[in-house]
Amino acid sequence: MSIDRIKVGLISDTHGLLRPEALEALRGCDTILHAGDVGAGVLEKLKRTFHTVVAVRGNTDWGPWGQTLRWTEQVDVSGLKFYIVHDLSRSPAVPEGVHVVVHGHTHRWSCAQEGGLWYINPGSIGPRRFDLPITLGIAVVEGPNIQLKRITIEA
């Protein structure tokens, strides 16, 4: 019996800027999960390149395109449940049965496991904020196992 290996790109806070270096780093991903503050035009570009793109609305997503996004989403990837929200501090409780929470808003990378639940903030691949690095995450899911990796974009 073979176990599917699925590569998931984790991004947030593009604010309308989809860097070519970020697209290159995401090459080979089966799914992209965007944790909000998307910005106009970004989803269309992602959908031209990747099979599955799921995004949530962030606090700056107020244009007509942003109003079509939900505040939270849940995605099943090979049996692992991902919960996506922009601002974790304003989120309702994490739904039962979730394995990975993907969130944004701070533009700062973080990855921690608490009580068997992963919390990942991929940082930002959009406009640089202060002196923060430009980062994204890659999750490799193989059956019930997950590997999480930080990618830093030199820009």
Per-residue pLDDT of the chain (155 residues; tens, 9 = 90+): 456 899 999 999 999 999 999 999 999 999 999 999 999 999 999 999 999 999 999 999 998 889 999 999 999 999 999 999 999 998 878 999 999 999 999 999 999 999 999 999 999 999 998 899 999 999 999 988 999 999 999 87
Contacts of 18 (CB under 8 A, 6+ apart): 41, 42, 45, 46, 125
The predicted pLDDT at position 2 comes to 56
Quick one: tokens of 133?
Answer: 């690095």
pLDDT of residue 59: 95
pLDDT recorded at residue 3 = 66
DSSP string, 74-104: EEEETTEEEEEES-GGG--PPPTT--EEEE-
**What pTM did the predictor assign?**
0.96
pLDDT score at 63: 85
How many Cα atoms sit within 13 Å of 63 on the Cβ side?
9
pLDDT at site 6:
95
Phi/psi for 15 (5° steps) reads 50, 40
Domains (range + CATH), the chain: 5-153 (3.60.21.10)
